[in-house]
Amino acid sequence: MKRVEAWKAFLFCAVLFAVAAVINVSMRPFYPPKKVQQTIVLPPLSDQAPAPLPQPAESTSPTVADTSKPAEIVAPPKIWPDDFPPTRTIRIPDRVRPSTGVMDLTFHPGDDLQFEIEQWWTLKFENIPQELEFSRNKMMKDFKTPETRKGRTRVKPGTEKAVSVRLIIDKKNPENYKPLPPIDSKTFGNLRFNYRKLQGLRNNTEFMIDFEAENTDRSRTIGLAIHGPRTLSYEGEVALVGSFTDSDGTEYSITQIAGLNHMHSLPSKLASIGPGERRQASLRFLQRSGVVGRPTSFTFRCEFVINPDFTTQTYSGYRPNGELPPGCRIETLIWEIPIRYNDE
């Protein structure tokens, strides 16, 4: 029998005891430690109010604007002349001594004058200096208005010297500005001519007359054209049988026709105006002499070709022979037209 050494046996036994101890400890149940109860003793209640709690420190985060407060109102900029009182008022005419004539006036730096001008009175500045400015450029021309016209004139800011001006005071005659008499309409059967207006063009070297032709018949169509001469001087010439003259005896030549045709014998030139319809037309005239006058009235005379019962089949197969087409007649329209100029 083999003999075991003593130290090996001792080591083996020590290992067995260590393994048994580890197993014994791991198999024990775990019990949590017992909590120690602490008793809190409160002081007796008192009648005094509790001390206020300490407030937290202010936050450094950005604050939101309080919209409940009204925003600061910024005054609008001042506008001349309404926001500035005048330094002086001049009434025309003078209530103590109303008269026309010339008035010399001196504006000093800072002067802001208000002019009050009654109806029919006019005020005109001669040689307006650059140092002055006006609130109304037409305050001197609206003399027909019944209310008192008001206008402001001041020395421009920054001007350091006095300014002298001359003013012309005048009064218009109300009798010269009564309403012009109306131009009566002209009627030929069921066709009525209504005057509209006379307009001066190119510094009154040309004039344009506007009118309308109205068919008052409720069942028949009317054919209408301006009567022209038998022959023309050149192809495309605008011509009529009639005249346009002014009160000075000046004659004007027709240069343009709009809204109607001119004809002598061609029925195809007739314009159709249906029952109850109206046709607008205008004629333009040029002064022959080239000398601009100042007439007070014009006389318009024009011949028209009229077919009182016109249809598109009326002249089917008809061959013009230099005479008026069948069923047509000629009527002469004459208007006496008084005028007035804008500067009167």
pTM value?
0.56
Alpha-carbon Rg of the chain, whole angstroms? 54
**H runs (alpha helix) in the chain:** 6-26
* Domain limits, the chain: 88-173, 186-338
pLDDT (0 to 100) of residue 4: 56
Tell me how far apart the alpha carbons of residues 170 and 230 are, in angstroms, rounded to a whole number: 55
* Residue range 186-338 in CATH 2.60.120: no
Query: What pLDDT tens digit does each residue of the chain (344 aa) get?
Result: 455 567 677 777 787 877 777 676 566 665 555 555 555 544 555 555 555 555 655 555 555 555 666 667 788 899 999 899 999 999 999 988 889 999 999 999 999 999 999 998 998 888 889 999 998 755 656 787 888 888 899 999 999 999 999 999 999 888 777 778 899 999 999 999 999 999 988 888 899 999 999 999 999 999 999 999 988 877 778 899 999 999 999 999 999 999 999 999 999 999 999 999 999 999 999 987 767 778 999 999 999 999 999 987 788 889 999 999 999 999 999 999 998 876 65
Could you tell me if 289 and 205 are in contact, meaning their C-beta atoms sit under 8 angstroms apart?
no
Phi/psi at 16 (nearest 5 deg)? -60, -45
Whether 192 and 227 have beta carbons less than 8 Å apart is answered as no
Rounded to whole angstroms, how far apart are CA atoms 143 and 344? Answer: 10
Burial (CB count within 10 angstroms: exposed 0-12, middle 13-18, buried 19+), residue 11: exposed
Q: CA distances (Å), 91 to each of 112, 152, 162, 169, in order? A: 14, 12, 22, 11
User: Please, what's the b/e burial string for 126-160 (b: 16 or more CB within 10 A of its CB; e: otherwise)?
Assistant: eeeeebbebbeeebbeebeeeeebebbbbbeeebe
pLDDT at 47 (0 to 100)? 53
Calpha distance 269→329 (Å, rounded): 14
Listed in sequence order, the residues at least 6 apart from 205 whose beta carbon sits closer than 8 Å to its beta carbon are: 286, 287, 290, 292
Query: Is the previous residue joined to 81 through a cis bond, with omega within 30 degrees of 0?
Result: yes
